[in-house]
Amino acid sequence: MEPQALFDTLADPTRRRILALLLAREELCVCELTTALEEIQPKISRHLGVMKGAGLVTSRRDGTWMHYRMAKLPGWTMDLLRPLASGAVPEFKTDIRRLKIMSGRAERCAD
């Protein structure tokens, strides 16, 4: 993990929100992130591409859905990221509440 890539990624508030959610949940699909952040899919996908390029997240395809999770990162990186899900991102509580409402559906990514 290059420190500059990490700090460049953290400079954007949408990426901090995405990282906070991924830290709180093991894995999320793009549709869950768009619901939680109330953003359009192209914007979320663009940010996820930046984070993947920086080595912060990994992805897997399940049919038409792309699922993302945190990459295996060095300890110093996780030490910097953990606070995102515990108060450093002011929108986190609202984002996670939206995600919980959506996660209660029979099929997570039905839309």
Q: Which pLDDT belongs to residue 104?
A: 59
Burial environment of residue 81 by CB neighbours within 10 A (0 to 12, 13 to 18, 19 or more): buried
This prediction has a pTM of 0.90
Q: Which pLDDT belongs to residue 21?
A: 96
What are the boundaries of each domain within the chain?
A: 3-81
Joined together, the tokens standing for residue 85 give 């899900």
Print pLDDT tens along the chain (111 aa): 789 989 999 999 999 999 999 999 989 999 999 999 999 999 999 999 999 999 999 999 988 889 999 999 999 999 999 999 998 999 999 999 999 888 655 455 544
Q: Which of 85, 73, 83 is nearest to 6 (CA)?
A: 73
Answer whether 81's CB lies under 8 Å from 18's CB.
no
Three-point CA angle 30, 34, 35, nearest 5°:
120
30-37 vs 13-24: helix crossing angle, rounded to 10: 120
Joined together, the tokens standing for residue 30 give 């793009």
Q: Which pLDDT belongs to residue 102?
A: 82
Joined together, the tokens standing for residue 20 give 């906070």
Instruction: Choose which CATH entry (1.10.10.10, 1.20.140.10, 1.10.1740.10, 3.50.50.60) describes domain 3-81.
Output: 1.10.10.10
